[in-house]
Amino acid sequence: MYALIGFSAFVISDSCAKWLTSGYPVLQIVGWTYLFSFLFGVLFSWKMGGLKRTLKTQKIKVHVGRAVCNFGLAVSVVTAFQNLPLTSVYPILFLAPFIITILAIPIYKESVPPINWLIIAIGFSGVMIAFQPWNNSISIWVVVAFFTTLCISGLSLLARPLDEKETLLSLSFYPNILNTAVLFPYVLYQYGLPNIYEMPIFMLAGVMLTCGMTGVASACRITRYAIIAPLHYSQLVLVFTIGYFIFNERPDAWMICGSIVIALSGLTLALSDKKPIISEH
């Protein structure tokens, strides 16, 4: 339930951001989303380990690194949503487990069995099927979405050193407070207040962002990633449903088939991995 709520919350937050891109610049969306995510986390901090214990962290450098990755993720993913359909962005985001597996080799000295390399290759082939580069040129916005995947991978890899001594609140608190402190004053000065009637959408995006980070992290702390992985790819169903009914997106057969290949490959890779990995999108 934690994982299902967390992954679904991420999709809702992303959908709110995409909705807002029609009337607001990227930095304004990111700035207000971070602010509401931070405020929501503080409001319910007593349920997520407490603010006092969170501030006593011994791993501030790791949290700062995650904050940088989270900022890059937020800006790049909203930019991607501004220029691509939801149903085109998410297949790229689903490459994160493959990127994590590859980056864990030099960072954590992990070994990858030959069968896993085959699964990774099949997963990347799903992107080729979805976007057909032999018929269409890859746009800069696809590259931006791929950069988002790298940021997601960075968040996941930097989450590994954060053991149970760190509070659940810390996983969202430090990225939110650092990026809010840096970005929000500029956003407020440069753009002013959003339309009052659209403020609830900003609030929903922020609340869902905190729910997503907390829900997925909670799930990863109490069970193996192999159990959580199938729910990760339930996002695909929700993304295609929201894309169809809210944004009038009609992905073609190539995009659907490529997405399925990526999802099945990622699921197979996760089920073959006995070590838990905290995936955050």
Full 3-state SS string of the chain: CHHHHHHHHHHHHHHHHHHHCCCCCHHHHHHHHHHHHHHHHHHCHHHCCCHHHHHCCCCHHHHHHHHHHHHHHHHHHHHHHHHCCHHHHHHHHCCHHHHHHHHHHHHHCCCCCHHHHHHHHHHHHHHHHHHCCCCCCCCHHHHHHHHHHHHHHHHHHHHCCCCCCCCHHHHHHHHHHHHHHHHHHHHHHHHCCCCCCCHHHHHHHHHHHHHHHHHHHHHHHHCCHHHHHHHHCCHHHHHHHHHHHCCCCCCCHHHHHHHHHHHHHHHHHHHCCCCCCCCCC
Spatial distance between the Cα atoms of 35 and 207, rounded to a whole number of angstroms: 10
What is the per-residue pLDDT for 234? 82
> Which amino acid appears at position 187 of this protein?
V
> Which amino acid appears at position 66 of this protein?
R
Examine the pLDDT at 82 and tell me if it is beyond 50. Answer: yes
Contact indicator for 37, 209 with CB cutoff of 8 Å: yes
Q: Checking phi first, is residue 49 left (phi over 0); if not, alpha (psi -120 to 50) or beta? A: left
Mean pLDDT over 1-6 rounds to 88
pLDDT tens column, 31-59:
999 999 999 999 999 989 999 999 999 99
- Backbone φ, ψ for residue 166 (5° rounding): -85, 140
Which of the four pLDDT bands, split at 50, 70 and 90, describes residue 260?
very high
Examine the pLDDT at 226 and tell me if it is beyond 70. Answer: no
Which of the four pLDDT bands, split at 50, 70 and 90, describes residue 278?
very low
Examine the pLDDT at 257 and tell me if it is beyond 80. Answer: yes
Kindly report the pTM of this predicted structure: 0.89
Examine the pLDDT at 276 and tell me if it is beyond 50. Answer: no
What is the per-residue pLDDT for 160? 79
pLDDT greater at residue 192 or residue 179: 192
DSSP assignment string, 150-163 = HHHHHHHHHHTT--
Examine the pLDDT at 274 and tell me if it is beyond 60. Answer: no
